[in-house]
């Protein structure tokens, strides 16, 4: 018999009551139990960054985080960064402006890392942006466009 636990997760300013196995990752809780499929499952080993989301404003790899660890904390996914009226986040707009995606699979994780990069003030140079974003892989090789998008969004945030 499979044992489940009841979790109350605060995701994108909404409360989700989920019954999950204790070993369920935050990634699987988001996708399979909360129906939030924007966070992508890539390597499932913490190597690609496709599953990046934020817990209490800090970026985390949701494939390496147990859902139970996130209870009582504020979780933000790609679905939760636009404004309440549907306006895109400045980073999302910059990614579109700079064609900072090709196939789009890595884009949600890239955007979530970019938001954290800007929030943490790690945008002093293109090299600093590249270093911060190095945990997010893009199989299509859109790295130059990603850096340009992060730089532009950071400049908009400073204005």
Report the domain count for the chain.
2
Query: Is residue 67 a contact partner of residue 76, using CB atoms and an 8 Å limit?
Result: no
Mean pLDDT for back-to-back runs of 10 residues, the chain (159 residues): 92 98 98 98 96 98 98 98 94 97 95 98 98 96 97 91
Three-class DSSP labels, 16-71: EEEEECCCCEHHHHHHHHCCCCCCCCCCCCCCCCCCEEEECCEEEEHHHCEHHHHC
Final residue belonging to a domain, choices 51, 80, 109? 80
Domain range for 50: 5-80
Query: Is residue 112 a contact partner of residue 59, using CB atoms and an 8 Å limit?
Result: yes
Q: Is the pTM of this model over 0.85?
A: yes
Q: What is the CATH number of the domain that holds 61?
A: 3.10.20.30
């Amino acid at each position: 018999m499979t044992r489940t636990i009841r979790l109350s997760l605060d995701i994108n300013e909404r409360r989700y009551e989920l019954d999950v196995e204790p070993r369920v990752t935050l990634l699987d809780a988001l996708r399979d139990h909360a129906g939030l499929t924007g966070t992508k499952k890539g390597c499932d080993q913490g190597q690609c960054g496709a599953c990046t989301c934020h817990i209490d404003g800090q970026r985390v790899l949701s494939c390496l985080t147990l859902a139970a660890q996130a209870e009582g904390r504020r979780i933000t996914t790609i679905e939760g960064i636009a404004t309440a009226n549907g306006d895109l986040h400045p980073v999302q707009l910059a990614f579109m402006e700079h064609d900072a995606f090709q196939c789009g699979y890595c884009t949600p994780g890239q955007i979530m890392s970019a938001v954290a990069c800007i929030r943490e003030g790690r945008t002093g140079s293109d090299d600093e942006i590249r270093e911060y974003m190095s945990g997010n892989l893009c199989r299509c090789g859109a790295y130059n466009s990603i850096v340009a998008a992060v730089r532009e969004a950071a400049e908009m945030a400073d204005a």
